[in-house]
Amino acid sequence: MNNLLLTPIEYLKGVGPNRGELLRKELGIHKYEDLINFYPNRYIDRTRYYKINELQNNNADVQIIGRVIRIKTVEQKRGKRLVAVFADETGEMELLWFQGHKWIRESLKLNTVYVIFGKCTAFNNQYSMAHPEMELLEEHKNSLKTAMQPVYPSTETLTKRGISNRVINKLIQQLFQETHQLFKETLPPYLLEELKLIPKNLALFNIHFPQTPELLAKAQYRLKFEELFFIQLQLIAKNMIQKNKIKGHSFEIVGAHFNGFYKNHLPFELTNAQKRVIKEIRNDMGSNAQMNRLLQGDVGSGKTIVALMSMLIALDNGFQSCLMAPTEILANQHFMGLSELANELNINIKLLTGSTKTAARKIIHEELENGTLHILIGTHALLEDKVKFQNLGLAVIDEQHRFGVEQRSKLWQKNTIPPHILVMTATPIPRTLAMSLYGDLDISVIDELPPGRKPIQTVHRFDSNRLKVWKFIKDEIALGRQIYIVYPLINESETMDYKDLMDGYESISRDFPLPQYSISIVHGQMKPAEKDAEMQRFSQGKTNIMIATTVIEVGVNVPNASVMIIESAERFGLSQLHQLRGRVGRGAEQSYCILMTGHKLSSDSKTRMETMTATNDGFEIAEVDLKLRGPGDLMGKQQSGILNLQIADIVRDRDILMLARNYAMTILKKDPALKLPEHLNTRETYIQLTKKKNIWNYIS
């Protein structure tokens, strides 16, 4: 039966080659099964029939039974309109068409009973309905009518080309008739029973033609569970295969480099969270399987030292390591940070980015191949074919969401046995999203800040309080501290009246004049060398104030900077605000973050300001962000199609996701190859899905 579902869509009665092409292009519907899984995005109640004298001018969809008694064509400024007078026993109204006159005129039957459906508008007490859906009463009684009418997602092109909601509805009815509603069950019988899920047939029928609101709710639950269950099944199976099949280097020695650093050179006592994470990494690297671990830690939680200690384990076992960062600024910062930490360890660390000179590159390539280079830090430049390691044992990837999956695997191909992979991120990812985005990775979290760090105090101030804020800055500078002021835009755009950087720079220069104060400025349109020079001046304490756009979101570490002022804070997303705030609070002094906004704030902006002032916990902030923005935006443009789910919603259906993940895990532990008789249907669906939709189609 399921083979029928693989039939190309143009063979469905009522489709044909032209409509088939449109459905493919506009909605991605190629086969029968795509149409079955094309779910409505809302429903309209069609239990009630209105009389013409009961109509209200309220923009609601209504249905009326009556007859067409007259038809005429009316000239108007542009072209013509077709007008039909429609009547029932209580009165008359007009039906209007602005396109397709000839075809409509020929198909309308006078004095025959129709059911019309659409939105009514009133003019001079005369009601009219434009482009109504019309059905002969006889047909209306026979068609698959339900109280709740499905409304399907559509596009402008489809509407223009006559593929209305009614047409889609008709095609789906046709499909149910051709397939006799025989859809194969995909979940094991015991699971349906335990979770009281309705069968697949019933669920598909009721998602398109709900018999009752209760059945609609059950159908939605069943299909959401199934969708999330199969995604989790793929992710967990991938993780298990990696652990069983993909052999990793077994780093059994924890030797002189690691122990020497730990005993003699640790700059501060490790937090319990750091110790726990290092232990998890040691266990992974000591087993025969390749490590694939995600390390999440808020800004300033000490991920760099964990990365270094992991690299020292690789070195103790005679292997090289690399660290890949998304930008040159960040790669430079890692290089400086790691070089400083490993200062007395007598190990060779080098930096490779797009700006590295040819002569230096040559040395790096040679030392990599002869094994005398122990740690290489860099940007995408590490992926070039020329970069060959003698024996790469550990690859650390920073801010993974800026690198694709293919790039992760490119690092693998640098060796016959793939290196251990440690992915680090300072963007806290809510648990639900992490389970779906990185479900194939094991997750470690550093959830405490190093001792001696005081939590940053965050306040929200309106532009009208600016004088007080300026006075506060002067007091802080008098104490020897430095200040960041961040703007959302470089130049004023015509439509936005937000304070732009240049404007700000001028007025701040007036309020903080030389020689008493000095100011640095950094923005995206400067040349890299100019930017670096300005950053250097600020970090060496030669300037008191750094005015910048979000360039400084990642990659600046100035322990003496204690105040972060964010102008037009309502223009920033929560995770951006949190990242910017993390630029201060790196020294022992109390630090502050001041969010400046105008008085007019949308409710989302208010929520963002309240969240920022209420908590410093990146995970809490990420949860709020996920609710406000939805999963698509959370990871920025690179991940905009983050989870192209058909029916589930990762925020609203969080509980179903957890449930689906637990069941997927239990089933795979008990029966990894899904060979038991009760799992055969699930296995077949799983194989079909991985052929058609590799997990990476769900996750961009």
pLDDT at residue number 292? 87
Residues 570 and 473 in one domain: yes
pLDDT at residue number 449? 76
Considering only 2-11, 171-180, 371-380, 405-414, which range has the smallest mean pLDDT? 405-414
Residues 347 and 260 in one domain: yes
Residues 509 and 442 in one domain: no
Range 675-694 average pLDDT = 86
Residue 401 covered by a domain: yes
pLDDT at residue number 551? 64
Residues 509 and 591 in one domain: yes
**pLDDT tens digits for 82-130?**
999 999 999 999 999 988 888 899 999 999 999 999 888 888 888 999 9
Q: Residue 417: which pLDDT band, with cuts at 50, 70 and 90? A: confident
Q: Residue 556: which pLDDT band, with cuts at 50, 70 and 90? A: low
Q: Residue 490: which pLDDT band, with cuts at 50, 70 and 90? A: low
Considering only 431-435, 489-493, 566-570, which range has the smallest mean pLDDT? 489-493
Share of the chain above pLDDT 90, in %: 50
Residue 692 covered by a domain: no
pLDDT at residue number 697? 45
Residues 430 and 540 in one domain: no
Residues 439 and 492 in one domain: no
Torsion of CA 26, 32, 35, 36, to 10 degrees: -170
The token duo for 287 is: 């087993």
Residue 72 covered by a domain: yes
**Residue 303 pLDDT more than 80?**
yes
CA atoms of 386 and 537, how far apart (whole Å): 36
Quick one: which H or E segment has residue 470?
Answer: helix 466-478
Average pLDDT, the chain: 86
**Residue 566 pLDDT more than 80?**
yes
**pLDDT tens digits for 219-234?**
999 999 999 999 899 8
pLDDT at residue number 296? 87
CA atoms of 378 and 435, how far apart (whole Å): 28
CA atoms within 13 A on the CB side of 131: 10
The most confident of the ranges 55-59, 106-110, 146-150 is 106-110
**Residue 407 pLDDT more than 60?**
yes
**Residue 637 pLDDT more than 80?**
no
How would you label 508-534 residue by residue, b for 16+ Cβ within 10 Å and e otherwise? bbeebeeeebebbbbbeeeeeeebeeb
**pLDDT tens digits for 577-593?**
998 898 888 877 899 99
DSSP per position, 285-319: HHSSBPPEEEEEE-TTS-HHHHHHHHHHHHHHTT-
Question: Which of 112, 145, 178 is the last residue in one of the domains?
Answer: 145
pLDDT at residue number 320? 96
CA atoms of 534 and 127, how far apart (whole Å): 68
Residue 212 covered by a domain: no
**Residue 402 pLDDT more than 80?**
no
Question: Which of 593, 615, 637 is the last residue in one of the domains?
Answer: 615
Residue 123 covered by a domain: yes
**pLDDT tens digits for 322-338?**
999 888 878 888 898 89
Residues 439 and 486 in one domain: no
> Which has more confidence, 49 or 143?
49
**pLDDT tens digits for 251-266?**
999 999 999 999 998 8
**Residue 633 pLDDT more than 80?**
no
Residues 414 and 308 in one domain: yes
CA atoms of 700 and 55, how far apart (whole Å): 48
Please tell me whether the peptide bond between 132 and the residue prior to it is cis, using omega within 30 degrees of 0: no
Q: Residue 699: which pLDDT band, with cuts at 50, 70 and 90? A: very low
**Residue 528 pLDDT more than 70?**
yes
| Structural domains in the chain (count) | 3
Residues 498 and 415 in one domain: no
Can you give the residue range of the structural domain that contains 476?
A: 457-615
Share of the chain above pLDDT 70, in %: 90
How would you label 564-583 residue by residue, b for 16+ Cβ within 10 Å and e otherwise? bbbbbbbbbbbbbbbbbbbb
Q: Are the C-beta atoms of 286 and 251 separated by less than 8 Å?
A: yes
CA atoms of 53 and 546, how far apart (whole Å): 69
**Residue 339 pLDDT more than 80?**
yes
CA atoms of 627 and 650, how far apart (whole Å): 10
pLDDT at residue number 2? 61
CA atoms of 294 and 661, how far apart (whole Å): 18
**Residue 629 pLDDT more than 80?**
no
pLDDT at residue number 376? 97
CA atoms of 194 and 310, how far apart (whole Å): 44
**Residue 635 pLDDT more than 70?**
no
Q: What is the pTM of this model?
A: 0.65
Torsion of CA 141, 170, 153, 151, to 10 degrees: 10
CATH of the domain at 307: 3.40.50.300
**Residue 44 pLDDT more than 70?**
yes
**pLDDT tens digits for 445-479?**
888 877 777 889 999 999 999 999 999 999 999 99
Question: Which of 565, 600, 615 is the last residue in one of the domains?
Answer: 615
Residue 577 covered by a domain: yes
CATH of the domain at 61: 2.40.50.140
**pLDDT tens digits for 202-216?**
999 999 998 887 898
In eight-state DSSP terms, residue 2 is G
pLDDT at residue number 145? 59
